[in-house]
């Protein structure tokens, strides 16, 4: 498995990402993640929709909380042909608790806790800490990457407007 040293920083410390770097124009790798009800979800479950993949280290941190809340607030801008998926290593039960406590109903939280294949397939698994690097990926209806932001400093927020504008142009 490929490793990219110093690909991002976490509070200023260089981190290694596991997996090949995903690029705009590439076909998105399939995934199997776990929903809050413990059911499996794959990319095929969202076929025909424009997808924002909001990848966060953990919902129980302030920046991840903010990122997920902001996408939850703005998800309606995509209409019925778009979906926002928040993906983390958090256990599905923790994601469910977070969604209930915050009233988040416009994003779907999915977990890569079982086998960590999403993080490696998308090149966003942080080797040193076993979490996912903060990334926002927009996929078109055919699962082609149309926008990608790997946030250089994991503790900083992404550019919400750029991702939403890219997604809205596709719906």
pLDDT at 27: 98
Tens of pLDDT along 114-125?
A: 999 999 999 999
Q: Which residues make Cβ contacts (< 8 Å) with residue 127, sequence separation at least 6?
A: 3, 15, 16, 17, 18
CB 52 within 8 A of CB 136: yes
What is the crossing angle of helices 92-102 and 62-74, to 10°? 60
Give the pTM. 0.97
pLDDT of residue 104: 93
- What is the maximal distance between C-alpha atoms in the chain? 40
CB 144 within 8 A of CB 28: yes
Q: List the chain residues with pLDDT less than 70.
A: none
Q: What is the pLDDT of residues 99-143, one digit of tens each?
A: 999 999 999 999 999 999 999 999 999 999 999 999 999 999 999
> Quick one: pLDDT at residue 161?
98
CA distance 8 to 5: 8
Q: What are the residue numbers of the active site?
A: 64
Instruction: Give the SS3 label for residue 94.
Output: helix
CA distance 17 to 100: 31
Query: Tell me, what's the pLDDT at 153?
Result: 98
Predicted confidence at residue 38, as pLDDT, reads 97
């Amino acid at each position: 498995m490929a490793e990219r040293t110093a690909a991002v920083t976490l509070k200023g410390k260089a981190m290694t990402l596991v997996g090949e770097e995903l690029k705009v124009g590439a076909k998105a790798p399939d995934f199997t993640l776990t929903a809050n009800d413990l059911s499996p979800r794959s990319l095929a479950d969202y076929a025909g929709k424009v997808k924002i993949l909001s990848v966060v280290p953990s919902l129980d941190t302030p920046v991840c909380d903010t990122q997920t809340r902001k996408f939850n607030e703005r998800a309606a801008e995509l209409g019925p042909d778009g979906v926002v998926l928040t993906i983390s290593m958090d256990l599905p039960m923790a994601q469910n608790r977070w969604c209930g406590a915050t009233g988040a109903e416009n994003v779907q939280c999915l977990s890569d806790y079982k086998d960590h294949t999403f993080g490696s397939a998308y090149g966003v698994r942080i080797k040193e800490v076993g979490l996912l690097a903060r990334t926002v990926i927009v996929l078109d209806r055919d699962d082609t990457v149309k926008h990608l932001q790997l946030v250089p400093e994991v503790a900083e927020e992404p550019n919400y407007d750029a991702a939403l504008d890219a997604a809205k142009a596709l719906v």
